[in-house]
């Protein structure tokens, strides 16, 4: 990205013609390095959503790549952990966990310089409709059996026993199973449940991935019950604003020279 900025005369013209940005032109390299370092330190929160039997959890797959993870995301400035988790889960799955989230039911871990806290949200009906509110962030949402997610190690990036590629899932499984052992599920395990994962939402133009991990799809049934995904930016961006006057003036000045 930095090389792209350096090769883009228009961008540099904007910096040079904008009073707000002009003092930083000579420090773009340092600014970019600081931003990259800051980005990996921002705390992350989200939720581990369990079905009524506590046998399955909800995972989301990113728009690019094939990794599955719990719905989660970075905190905004001064945002409380649980509020961030509620917001991120809503944006990535369309499901509001605010009524089911208990602040004390969480698992917190440190990865490098980044703190990750996931709240355990248990007892969600498996026929609950899910659909992300943001575009091109999530390609698929699915229920996955916990016993199929157990990897050979607790690495941040790992694979379940069926070959499912997981990101930031394995390190939380031991603590999650310990929590489940002390909290009886509201519904007893059912033998008629499919043994493999169940896809509940899938973007039209994304690939399904490994057929060995998804044996049954409910997307056509559930998406019909969900309102069309919001075409606007995420809620955190809707509240963002700045003075555009100087920037537009700089753009006009750049193209007029």
Instruction: Extract the tokens encoding 211.
Output: 């057929």
Q: Residue 231 domain-assigned?
A: no
Q: Are residues 48 and 163 in the same domain?
A: yes
Share of the chain above pLDDT 70, in %: 70
Q: Residue 179 domain-assigned?
A: yes
Q: Residue 166 domain-assigned?
A: yes
Q: Residue 10 domain-assigned?
A: yes
Its domain, for residue 107, covers 44-226
Measured in degrees and rounded to the nearest 5, phi and psi for residue 248 equal -65, -40
Q: Are residues 53 and 35 in the same domain?
A: no
Q: Residue 115 domain-assigned?
A: yes
What is d(CA 146, CA 176) in angstroms, rounded to the nearest whole number? 10
Share of the chain above pLDDT 90, in %: 51
Helix (H/G/I), strand (E/B), else coil: 111:
strand
Q: Are residues 117 and 73 in the same domain?
A: yes
- pTM of structure: 0.71
Q: Residue 232 domain-assigned?
A: no
Q: Are residues 155 and 172 in the same domain?
A: yes
Q: Are residues 34 and 102 in the same domain?
A: no
Measured in degrees and rounded to the nearest 5, phi and psi for residue 92 equal -90, -25
Q: Are residues 86 and 181 in the same domain?
A: yes
Q: Are residues 11 and 135 in the same domain?
A: no
Whether 30 has a pLDDT exceeding 80, the answer reads: no
Least confident of 38-47, 115-124, 135-144: 38-47
* Nearest alpha-carbon partner for 145 in 54, 60, 67, 46: 54
DSSP state of 12: H
CB 54 within 8 A of CB 190: no
How confident is the model at residue 21, as a pLDDT?
Answer: 82
How confident is the model at residue 173, as a pLDDT?
Answer: 95
Instruction: Extract the tokens encoding 98.
Output: 């605010």
Q: Are residues 193 and 90 in the same domain?
A: yes
Q: CB-based contacts of 209: which residues, under 8 Å, 6+ apart?
A: 61, 66, 140
Q: Are residues 24 and 115 in the same domain?
A: no
Q: Are residues 160 and 192 in the same domain?
A: yes
pLDDT tens sequence across 11-24: 667 667 888 888 88
CB atoms within 10 A of CB 177: 13
What is d(CA 12, CA 25) in angstroms, rounded to the nearest whole number? 8
Q: Are residues 48 and 25 in the same domain?
A: no
Q: Can you give the CATH number for the domain in which 195 is found?
A: 3.90.79.10
pLDDT tens sequence across 136-158: 999 999 999 999 898 777 888 88
Q: Residue 199 domain-assigned?
A: yes
How confident is the model at residue 209, as a pLDDT?
Answer: 43
Q: Are residues 132 and 242 in the same domain?
A: no
Q: How many domains does the chain have?
A: 2
Average pLDDT of the segment spanning 180-189:
94
What's the number of CA atoms in the CB half-sphere (13 Å) around residue 61?
25
How confident is the model at residue 221, as a pLDDT?
Answer: 41
- Burial class of residue 172, CB neighbours in 10 A (0-12, 13-18, 19+): buried
């Amino acid at each position: 990205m930095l090389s792209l900025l350096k090769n883009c005369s228009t961008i540099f013209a904007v910096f040079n013609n904008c009073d707000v940005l002009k003092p930083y032109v000579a420090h773009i390299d340092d600014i970019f390095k600081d931003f990259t370092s800051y980005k990996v330190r921002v705390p992350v929160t989200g939720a581990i959503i369990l079905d009524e039997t506590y046998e399955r959890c909800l995972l989301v797959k990113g728009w690019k790549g094939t990794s599955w993870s719990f719905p989660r995301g970075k905190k905004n400035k001064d945002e409380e952990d649980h509020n961030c988790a509620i917001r991120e889960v809503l944006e990535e799955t369309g499901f509001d966990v605010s009524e089911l989230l208990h602040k004390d039911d969480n698992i917190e871990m440190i990865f490098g310089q980044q703190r990750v806290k996931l709240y355990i949200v248990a007892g969600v009906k498996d026929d609950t409709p899910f659909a992300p509110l943001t575009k091109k962030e999530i390609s698929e949402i699915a229920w996955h059996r916990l016993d199929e997610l157990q990897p050979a190690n607790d690495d941040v990036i790992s694979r379940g026993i069926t070959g499912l590629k997981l990101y930031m899932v394995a390190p939380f499984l031991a603590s999650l199973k310990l929590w489940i052992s002390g909290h009886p599920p509201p519904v007893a395990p059912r033998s008629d449940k499919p043994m493999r994962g169940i896809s509940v939402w899938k973007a039209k133009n994304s690939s399904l991935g490994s057929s060995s991990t998804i044996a049954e799809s409910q997307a056509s049934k559930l998406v019909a019950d969900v309102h069309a995904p919001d075409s606007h930016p995420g809620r955190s961006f809707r509240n963002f604003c700045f003075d555009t006057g100087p920037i537009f003036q700089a753009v006009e000045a750049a193209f007029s020279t």
